[in-house]
Amino acid sequence: MSAGGAINQPASHLGASLKDELAALREFTALLQQEQQALVAGEIDKLTPLIEEKSRLATGLNRFAEQRQRLMSAAGMPHNRAGLEAWLAGQPLTSKDRADWKLLLTLTGEAQTLNETNGKLIAMRVQHNQQALNVLLSAANQATLYGPDGQTRPTGGGHLFGKA
């Protein structure tokens, strides 16, 4: 097979895989939106299954990116957006494939923004939990009383509740 044929064949494969990648990215973006809703609502119990699914989808999306990098290497192009755009401009992709690529870029930006926002929400929740824990620990350390003998003892003086 000629060098040109080797390069054009991956381009047709790329066109077919764009549809799969776009479907996976749509699913990933929807999952990030669900994660954000759970974080805002404080529904922490909903996060574990979302995190597991997010990890699975991210692995799949990484495979698509690695596949594109292999195609770019085979074409002798740099592994960046400008290199890929230049390469795509010379490939026999359909207008639908090119529209899918533009939509993929848009959704990638949306997913990145959602993921960053979710990270900030998680960081705020962790900070809030840490502050609450610090208040509780501080209160526990300061809750000391003096007994009739002048010695300190824990709050409550060792009395049992309900005992006169």
**Can you state the percent helix, strand and coil of the chain, rounding each to 5?**
80, 5, 20
Angle between helices 95-142 and 3-41 (to 10 degrees): 40
Q: Residue 152 carries which DSSP code?
A: E
Average pLDDT over residues 127-145: 76
Q: Which residues contact 71 (CB under 8 A, 6 or more apart)?
A: 10, 11, 13, 14
* CATH 3.90.220.20 assigned to 3-142: no
- Give the span between the Cα atoms of 103 and 85, in whole angstroms: 14
Domain spans, the chain: 3-142
**10 band by pLDDT with thresholds 50, 70 and 90:** low
**154 band by pLDDT with thresholds 50, 70 and 90:** low
Q: Are 91 and 34 in contact (CB under 8 A)?
A: no
Kindly report the pTM of this predicted structure: 0.71
- Does residue 7 have a pLDDT over 70? no
